[in-house]
Structure 1
Amino acid sequence: MEDDVPAFLKGNVLVPLKIDVTYNGARLVDTFSWNLYNSCMSIDEFALMTCIDLNLSNGFQDKIKQQIQEQVEAFVDIVSLIKTHGATIVPNWSTKIREHQTITMGIRHNTLDYTDKISWDPMSSSITPEQFAYITCKDLGLPTELRPAISNKIRETLFRWVIALIENPDSTDTSVAAEFKVSDTKVSLAQSYHAVEMATSLWKRAKPSTLEETAAVPR
């Protein structure tokens, strides 16, 4: 039922992506959100524009494309799994997904450290992570570079939480875990679970500790 689907999985679903590409001694690390079903450009176009904008060699293009494609395909399976089987797999699904989640922020930009702890209603569509990031940066006078970092952190945390619910269907702890861990309890849907493992691996692959490292290419 659509009423039992979290707000961040409705409509134009934005998913948190991370890329970590090395080529000829240079490295590109970046995090961003991707419109899963209605992107304004193709993955090929995005990879090409990234290389042009950052003056990267052509060798980066195929690697960027491959990593994005892997994650997008994984998220398509994950979102389908959640929408189709969430209520069947997880006892009291309707109740658990309505519990507010505490999300802890810790982002550094130059000499600025932004830390915050927010309570997020997964079922509310009154504000999106992007709107929250915009308002927060405007109200606190934070640099605009923090906006995508904040919104991406919220979306990644929400995805980690709902995947953890499905991987641990009998758990009584429905809060966001501080560090996402793959459970020993496996969902008995081979193709979809493979997607969960892929996304988990990709989340762990690229973790820039500061915004300065994001999209940074060594000279």
Structure 2
Amino acid sequence: MKQLSAWSFTKAPVKFKIPTNDNLVPIRLDIEIDGQRLRDAFTWNPSDPDTEVVLFAKRTVKDLKLPPAFVTQIAQSIQSQLAEFRSYEGQEMFTGEKVVPIKLDLRVNHTLIKDQFLWDLNNFESDPEEFARNFCKDVGIEDPEVGPAIAIAIREQLYEIAIQSVASARESRMHKKGRRGFEHFSASKAGGAGVDLVKLYGNKTSVVRKRREWDVYEPIVDLLSNEEVDALEAREERSAR
């Protein structure tokens, strides 16, 4: 998220929470050992006991037939990401009438997705998984791995925004006049003259699109050929090195 204008501190702060209905932590793994690489992304309930992490790592290694050394690396990666999340628990963050931009730019197998929309942070009942399911249905995506990848991408951005909100709340306490944070769009201002916001996909999502930008920001979904996928993966591998 690029930084633009100030957060609006019109409501009392609340305890840190990712602005979704279930507060799941997005976890991303990228581990390479002896030439074998594991990439994965999923959500984790921070209330689950820590013993579940090691059990999950062992099951993953067994199911994917990975070397035993992956168990420790998987467990440590998950535990470090959970520790970071828990370091924010109990801290204050500001909610309020805020709408922020969410961008999708990802490839899952042969499917390339690009989209941009606004997300209402004040709706703590929002459901990225429901949005992703409806998105895939509406644009005709059949690959079952695409929906979860979209939901993870949304959750990662909302998590980053929540972290920035904690920092903004901390700065607000230090400087009563506040300091500039990152871009948000007031829902009341966005609904003013010349901008017609339309909510999509039911009550459990917080998605809005500017009507005047539909042609510019409508979803882009491409199905790539095997040759195009191979070329992209080769380029990603070179970049990783």
Alignment partner of 1:76 out of 78, 86, 104 = 86
In structure 2, the partner of 1:156 is 156
In structure 2, the partner of 1:145 is 145
In structure 2, the partner of 1:104 is 103
Q: Counterparts in 2 of 1:1-219, with a 5 A limit?
A: 4=14, 8=18, 12-38=22-48, 42-81=52-91, 85-86=92-93, 93-95=94-96, 98-142=97-141, 143-168=143-168, 169=171, 170-175=178-183
Larger radius of gyration: 2
Residues 84-143 of structure 1, C-alpha deviation per residue, up to 9 Å, x if partnerless? x33xxxxxx344xx3011101011134432111121112214430111111111221212
Q: Compute the displacement of 1:10 (Å).
A: 6.9
Change (3 A) 1:8 1:162: closer
In structure 2, give the amino acid aligned to 1:66: Q
Instruction: Give the TM-score of the pair, scaled to structure 2.
Output: 0.60
Residues 1-24 of structure 1, C-alpha deviation per residue, up to 9 Å, x if partnerless? 998457735764201111222222
Matches of 1:9 and 1:2 in 2, distance apart? 16
Instruction: Give the TM-score of the pair, scaled to structure 1.
Output: 0.66
Q: Deviating runs (4+, > 6 A) in structure 1?
A: none
SS in 2 for 1:36: coil
Matches of 1:6 and 1:117 in 2, distance apart? 26
Change (3 A) 1:6 1:101: farther
In structure 2, give the amino acid aligned to 1:65: A
**Of Structure 1 and Structure 2, which has the larger fraction of its residues in strand?**
2
SS in 1 for 2:144: coil
SS in 2 for 1:8: coil
Q: Is the 2:95–2:122 contact (alpha carbons within 8 Å) kept by the matching residues of 1?
A: no
Residues 5-62 of structure 1, C-alpha deviation per residue, up to 9 Å, x if partnerless? 57735764201111222222211122211111147x8111110111122111111011
Q: Is the 1:5–1:123 contact (alpha carbons within 8 Å) kept by the matching residues of 2?
A: no
Q: Compute the displacement of 1:172 (Å).
A: 2.9
SS in 2 for 1:123: coil
Residues 54-84 of structure 1, C-alpha deviation per residue, up to 9 Å, x if partnerless? 1111110111011111111221122332xxx
Change (3 A) 1:10 1:76: farther
**Of Structure 1 and Structure 2, which has the larger fraction of its residues in helix?**
1
Change (3 A) 1:35 1:70: same
Q: Is the 1:51–1:60 contact (alpha carbons within 8 Å) kept by the matching residues of 2?
A: yes
| Runs of 5+ consecutive residues of structure 2 not aligned to the other structure | 1-10, 172-177, 185-228, 234-241
| Runs of 5+ consecutive residues of structure 1 not aligned to the other structure | 87-92, 177-209, 214-219
Q: Is the 1:161–1:175 contact (alpha carbons within 8 Å) kept by the matching residues of 2?
A: no
Matches of 1:68 and 1:6 in 2, distance apart? 20
Matches of 1:127 and 1:52 in 2, distance apart? 35
Q: Is the 1:102–1:117 contact (alpha carbons within 8 Å) kept by the matching residues of 2?
A: yes
SS in 1 for 2:26: strand
